């Protein structure tokens, strides 16, 4: 079994990190004045991710202890997901923070028509968007859960970068108030909005599932400690008193969803109202915070309705 030297830096994997919000998240973390990280930037095209890593390494305010790594990752490929998990396992042995940032708003597959909303591309469009925005992140999470479970940090974090368009309550409340036109620009992102609504539900389910497993593990630890105390009183205790197998208690799971806001990115043809740097600040706040709850959906202003 491979052994790994202790590293105080949190290991972070960011999907879709070669540009846009993902790149800015990496940049914020890499230039944090108070904390160092090992940041794994991932994307479909390795050359693009390597270029992003090179750019970050050249920053004058890069934290002196922060390290960066490029990783090819295609959310639509099971082989790619498995390879990425195997690489992280063999090189690092664990993962501390997973940021699901990668997403698309339309299919980019080559067909006989360039219009992504043409009837003949409808099924392809729905499949490709859900594959990238929901199925890929869910399967990647499954691949990485053992590595996240092995994190030595007090909190193991999974952050899903979503959208207010994925909130049914928020979207229709805004539409009724005249602040969101679901028949205009927003209406052209029906597939994207639906995929984000599904992602939000998946994230909520995941948070509850991991919280339940955490509670069960805590009950086992408590029971083991009580058995150990009983054996101590009987004079037959062995080991170091940390529970079964001499293991300490595991860290807590933090699974949360973040809406970064309407941002100028390739996803919306750069029609947003804020820069990627501003959007990344919202995500980084959730990445860096200690304590707090799991299973929450937030934006810059606070809680977002599911």
Kindly list the distances between the CA atom of residue 45 and the CA atoms of 51, 72, 73, 115, in Å, as whole numbers in the listed order.
10, 6, 8, 24
Residues identified as active-site: 192, 196
- What's the number of CA atoms in the CB half-sphere (13 Å) around residue 228? 16
The C-alpha atoms of residue 160 and residue 77 are separated, in whole angstroms, by 19
User: Can you give the chain as a three-state secondary structure string?
Assistant: CCCCCCCCCEEEEECCCCCHHHHHHHHHHHCCCCCCEEEEEEECCHHHHHHHHHHHHCCCCCCCCCEEEEEECCCCCHHHHHHHHHHHHHHHCCCCEEEECCCCCCCCCCCCCCCCCCHHHHHHHHHHHHHHHHHHHHHHHHHHHHHHHCCCCCEEEEEEECCHHHCHHHHHHHHHCCCCCCCCCHHHHHHHHHHHHHHHHHHHHHHHHHHHHHHHHHHHHHHHHHHHHHHHHCCCCCCCCCCHHHCCCCCEEEEEEECCCCECCHHHCCCCCECHHHHHHHHHHHHHCCCCCCCEEEECCEECCC
Which single residue is written with the structure tokens 């309705």?
305
């Amino acid at each position: 079994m491979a052994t790994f030297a202790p590293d105080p830096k949190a290991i972070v994997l960011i999907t879709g990190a070669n540009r846009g919000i993902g790149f800015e998240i990496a940049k914020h973390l890499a230039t944090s004045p108070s904390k160092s990280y090992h940041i794994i930037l991932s994307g479909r095209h390795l050359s693009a991710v390597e270029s992003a890593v090179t750019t970050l390494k050249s920053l004058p305010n890069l934290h002196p202890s922060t390290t960066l790594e490029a990783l090819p990752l295609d959310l639509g490929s099971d082989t790619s997901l498995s390879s990425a998990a195997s690489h992280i396992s063999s090189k690092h042995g664990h993962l501390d923070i997973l940021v699901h940032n990668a997403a698309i708003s339309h299919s980019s597959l080559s067909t006989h028509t360039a219009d992504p909303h043409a009837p003949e591309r409808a099924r392809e469009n729905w499949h490709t968007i859900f594959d990238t925005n929901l199925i890929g992140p869910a399967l990647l999470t499954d691949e990485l859960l053992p590595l996240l479970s092995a994190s030595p940090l007090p909190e193991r974090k999974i952050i899903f970068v979503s959208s207010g368009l994925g909130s049914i309550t928020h979207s229709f409340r805004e539409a009724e108030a005249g602040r969101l036109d679901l028949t205009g620009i927003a209406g052209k992102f029906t597939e994207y909005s639906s995929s984000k609504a599904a992602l939000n539900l998946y994230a909520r389910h995941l948070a509850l599932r991991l919280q339940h497993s955490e509670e069960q593990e805590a009950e086992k630890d408590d029971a083991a400690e009580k058995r150990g105390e009983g054996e101590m009183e009987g004079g037959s205790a062995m080991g170091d008193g940390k529970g079964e197998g001499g293991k300490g208690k595991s860290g807590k799971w933090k699974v949360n969803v973040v809406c970064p806001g309407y941002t100028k990115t390739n996803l919306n043809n750069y029609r947003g109202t804020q820069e990627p740097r501003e959007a990344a600040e919202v995500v980084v706040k959730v990445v860096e915070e200690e304590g707090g709850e799991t299973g929450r959906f937030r934006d810059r202003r606070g809680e977002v309705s599911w």
